[in-house]
Amino acid sequence: MKQDLFQAPDYYQLDDLLSEEHKLVRDAAREWVKRDVSPIIEDYAQKAEFPTSIISGLAEIGAFGPYIPEEYGGAGLDQISYGLIMQEIERGDSGVRSTASVQSSLVMYPIWKYGTEEQRKKYLPKLASGEWIGCFGLTEPDHGSNPGGMVTNYKDMGDHYLLNGAKMWISNAPFAQIAVVWAKNEEGRIHGLIVERGMEGFSTPETHGKWSLRASATGELIFDNVKVPKENLLPNKTGLGAPLGCLDSARYGIAWGAIGAAMDCYDTALRYAKERIQFGKPIGAFQLQQKKLAEMITEITKAQLLTWRLGVLRNEGKATSAQISMAKRNNVAMAKEICSEARQMLGGMGITGEYSIMRHMMNLESVITYEGTHDIHLLITGLDVTGLNAFK
Ligand SMILES: Cc1cc2nc3c(=O)[nH]c(=O)nc-3n(C[C@H](O)[C@H](O)[C@H](O)COP(=O)(O)OP(=O)(O)OC[C@H]3O[C@@H](n4cnc5c(N)ncnc54)[C@H](O)[C@@H]3O)c2cc1C
């Protein structure tokens, strides 16, 4: 990996819309990524390993529970600061951002929002400091886009619950200390349960052979008659709306994160286009290459504006799930397209680990699939504007 020379594009002076705190938080995350992530991430992606050495750094920049109140160990920041942290982390790598997203929005968020005060006190400070890493089990082998069909279930055994089933594609699973697991009770109602590593019958085999998100660990969650203490049930929200509420928060972070990946690819391609000489002049002097760069910066700027506005709506408690869905879909597709164009601009060099572009490109194949596929998000917008359900 070459030295990280990243310079963030800000074509419409969006910094003017940020507070001093937003900029401080963003710049701290940016510097940390340059110093501690960029130099090592390519090697870890090549090895298909999560760099556990960066966990404490993620905690220090506030990436674990940015908006969770400080009394529980969170950073107590607003939604725009949360988004900016995700943007900067994903500028480094989508896999690292995935670990932070899962920890914050899919593990800490449900414990904070749906848990008891005892659960908040027991788990949140350890998750905020990175002492514990969590994972989120919703997807099953036969239920991905349709999680409401899940078959993982638990029975009330009087003094405990008995959990059976399996989850797959679970980020952080291979090394997580706890899992927030979504399962049906005997009446078929979905509830969240906190399952801890070490409970008998609970295992987390790693998923190997991924070409995408290689620096993020993915695995299965297997529950074979796991005895879960009754105090581990999240009592304050049930039904599919509970996990979907977590996904709203995570998808919002992804919308910002995707901009980071796009900015990194654009910045790399711009620098390369000014330096690489062919036919006696920089390739950036050719109209076809300028068209690519012009379209990239236009799309990044549109996404930045969309996402900033969404952040304002989130801060005011007014953002709808459908608005979040639109930003996730738009920004990930935008980033994927920019990575592909930027890779071509680097010619043969674009396919090597010398540059981050190919890694971003491959990572975004997961990002466009998880937290609702691109097509599922189109259906969400379709339903929102027509009132007609095209899911089934
Ligand atoms: C690297 C990675 C990490 C992940 N991390 C997690 C995690 O931490 N926790 C977790 O719970 N899950 C996680 N997931 C799972 C992810 O959320 C699912 O892969 C995703 O929801 C899609 O489910 P599926 O893979 O089963 O695809 P399917 O649901 O089988 O979809 C296959 C295709 O059919 C399309 N499709 C499905 N239904 C419809 C429809 N009604 N109309 C039109 N098209 C449709 C989809 O858009 C897709 O193109 C992760 C996935 C990956 C790849």
CATH number of the domain within which 160 lies: 2.40.110.10
Within a domain: residue 379? yes
- Which one of 234, 258, 273 terminates a domain? 234
Between the CA of 274 and the centroid of ligand 1 the distance, in Å, is 40
Identity of residue 256 = W
Kindly report the backbone phi and psi dihedral angles of residue 13, in degrees, each rounded to the nearest multiple of 5, phi listed first.
Answer: 50, 50
**Whether residue 272 sits in one domain with residue 376:** yes
**Whether residue 124 sits in one domain with residue 140:** no
**Whether residue 168 sits in one domain with residue 95:** no
Within a domain: residue 25? yes
* CA distance linking residue 292 with residue 289, whole number of Å: 5
Q: Mean pLDDT across the chain, nearest whole number?
A: 98
The structure tokens listed for 181 are 């697991």
**Of 363, 293, 357, 305, whose CA–CA distance to 332 is shortest?**
363
DSSP states of 38-91: HHHHHHHHHHT---GGGHHHHHHTT-SSTTS-GGGTS----HHHHHHHHHHHHH
| Neighbour tally for 48: CB within 10 Å | 18
Between the CA of 366 and the centroid of ligand 1 the distance, in Å, is 9
**Whether residue 378 sits in one domain with residue 266:** yes
pLDDT of residue 4: 95
Place of tokens 């609970």: 202
CATH number of the domain within which 55 lies: 1.10.540.10
**Whether residue 307 sits in one domain with residue 226:** no
Atom nearest to 392 CA in ligand 1: 41
Pocket mutation for ligand 1, best pick of 370, 389, 391 (most atoms within 8 Å of C-beta): 370
pLDDT of residue 350: 98
Between the CA of 173 and the centroid of ligand 1 the distance, in Å, is 17
pLDDT of residue 113: 98
* 280-327 tens-digit pLDDT: 999 999 999 999 999 999 999 999 999 999 999 999 999 999 999 999
Atom nearest to 366 CA in ligand 1: 53
CATH number of the domain within which 369 lies: 1.20.140.10
pTM of the model: 0.98
| Residue 325 · residue 381 · CB < 8 Å | yes
Indicate which residue of 42, 88, 220, 371 is catalytic.
Answer: 371
**Whether residue 246 sits in one domain with residue 363:** yes
**Whether residue 249 sits in one domain with residue 113:** no
| Residue 176 · residue 204 · CB < 8 Å | yes
pLDDT of residue 156: 98
Told to judge if 371 belongs to the known catalytic residues of this protein, a careful annotator would answer yes
| Residue 40 · residue 57 · CB < 8 Å | no
Dihedral angle at the C-alpha atoms of 198, 102, 366, 381, nearest 10 degrees? 130
**Whether residue 186 sits in one domain with residue 100:** no
- Which one of 97, 128, 159 terminates a domain? 128
* 364-386 tens-digit pLDDT: 999 999 999 999 999 999 999 99
**Can you tell me whether residue 92 is helix, strand or coil?**
helix
- Which one of 65, 94, 128 terminates a domain? 128
* CA distance linking residue 132 with residue 144, whole number of Å: 27
Between the CA of 376 and the centroid of ligand 1 the distance, in Å, is 9
* CA distance linking residue 123 with residue 145, whole number of Å: 29
**Whether residue 69 sits in one domain with residue 162:** no
Q: Whose CA is nearest to atom 1 of ligand 1?
A: 366
Within a domain: residue 216? yes
pLDDT of residue 51: 98
Evaluate if residue 102 carries a pLDDT over 90: yes
What's the domain range around 248? 241-386
Atom nearest to 375 CA in ligand 1: 47
Within a domain: residue 332? yes
Count of structural domains within the chain: 3
Q: Which residues line ligand 1 (CB under 6 A)?
A: 102, 135-139, 144-145, 169-171, 213, 218, 366, 369-371, 373, 375-376, 379, 391
**Whether residue 361 sits in one domain with residue 342:** yes
pLDDT of residue 2: 62
Within a domain: residue 4? no
**Of 380, 252, 378, whose CA–CA distance to 312 is shortest?**
252
**Whether residue 90 sits in one domain with residue 151:** no
Pocket mutation for ligand 1, best pick of 105, 169, 392 (most atoms within 8 Å of C-beta): 169
Within a domain: residue 1? no
**Section 138-152 average pLDDT:** 98
**Whether residue 199 sits in one domain with residue 82:** no
Evaluate if residue 1 carries a pLDDT over 80: no
* 197-245 tens-digit pLDDT: 999 999 999 999 999 999 999 999 999 999 999 999 999 999 999 999 9
Within a domain: residue 8? no
Between the CA of 370 and the centroid of ligand 1 the distance, in Å, is 6
pLDDT bucket at 3, cuts 50 / 70 / 90: confident
Within a domain: residue 334? yes
